[in-house]
Amino acid sequence: MPNHIIAPSILSANFAQLGNDIEMINKSEADWFHIDVMDGVFVPNISFGFPVMKSLQKLATKTLDVHLMIVQPERYITDFKDAGANILSVHYEACTHLHRTIYAIKEAGMKAGVAINPHTPIDLLKDIIADTDLICMMSVNPGFGGQKFIENTYNKCADLKNFIIQKNSHCFIEIDGGVNEITAPKLLKAGADVLVAGNYVFSSNNPTATIASLKAL
């Protein structure tokens, strides 16, 4: 039985009919909803905020995995908890006091994730990995769906897996960006636990079947 987690990214959903896409994910073999929040400062794009998240919260029946691509994410921790987040990931590059922010997320009752940009070395996670529930490894530069996968991610993922084992950590590795039928099997082999997929799922003719095919790998 496959035990990896599939997290469709609603960034690529049809926002004019978001309810339909949420229902599709509810009924599919997906495990989580991946929710990308962008502020136009940390990344060169603006996605959506609390009104959309609260609508999602009402309809979604699965874990809400929220990926904050915003500066000063510590300002909004309880707001995201109230908007239904179960997992809250902040960017390493956006946090001056990352340890404090991780503990504030946990104290608010959520799992805490740390997202890293493609240029950020995993060595920098040494003193935080034991406190973190999930590392969201960006396999594209954050900001947009449908970008080209960065090939260095395979080695980086395998290195992080070894690092997590060495540290006796139970942290999940989530890969975000460019996941498809070519990259997904290699990522699972390299130790990925969670695969985020936006464009690959929502641009396919049958998103439910595409999710099932990722789950079956």
Residue ranges that bind ligand DX5, judged by CB under 6 A: 9, 11-12, 34, 36, 67, 140, 142-143, 145-147, 176-179, 196-200
User: Smallest gap, in angstroms, from Cβ of residue 35 to ligand DX5?
Assistant: 9
From the list 21, 39, 65, 176, the catalytic residue is 176
Please give the sequence-ordered ranges of beta strands (E in DSSP) within the chain, or none if there are none.
5-8, 32-38, 63-69, 87-91, 111-116, 134-138, 172-176, 194-197
Which of ligand DX5, Zn ion, none interacts with 113 (beta carbon under 5 to 8 A by kind)? none
Strand 194-197 relative to strand 87-91: parallel, antiparallel, unpaired? unpaired
Does 36 engage in binding with Zn ion (CB under 5 A)?
A: yes
User: Smallest gap, in angstroms, from Cβ of residue 36 to ligand DX5?
Assistant: 5
Nearest CA to 192 out of 183, 201, 200 is that of 183
Catalytic: 176? yes
Does 91 engage in binding with Zn ion (CB under 5 A)?
A: no
Q: CA dihedral defined by 177, 195, 93, 113, rounded to 10 degrees?
A: 160
Which of ligand DX5, Zn ion, none interacts with 198 (beta carbon under 5 to 8 A by kind)? ligand DX5
Does 176 engage in binding with Zn ion (CB under 5 A)?
A: yes
Contacts of 136 (CB under 8 A, 6+ apart): 67, 89, 113, 114, 115, 116, 174, 176, 196
Distance CA 190, CA 120 (A): 18
User: Smallest gap, in angstroms, from Cβ of residue 31 to ligand DX5?
Assistant: 15
Does 193 engage in binding with Zn ion (CB under 5 A)?
A: no
Catalytic: 82? no
- Provide the 3-class DSSP secondary structure of residue 115: strand
Contact yes or no for 195/4 (Cβ under 8 A): yes
From the list 21, 31, 36, 133, the catalytic residue is 36
Residue placing its CB nearer to ligand DX5 in the complex, 113 or 143: 143
- Provide the 3-class DSSP secondary structure of residue 64: strand
User: Smallest gap, in angstroms, from Cβ of residue 107 to ligand DX5?
Assistant: 25
Contacts of 158 (CB under 8 A, 6+ apart): 190, 191
Distance CA 143, CA 211 (A): 23
Size of the site for Zn ion (CB under 5 A): 3
String of contacts with Zn ion for each residue 60-89, x by CB under 5 A = -------x----------------------
Residue placing its CB nearer to ligand DX5 in the complex, 105 or 195: 195
Q: Using CB under 5 A, list all residues that contact Zn ion.
A: 36, 67, 176
Residues annotated as part of the active site: 36, 176
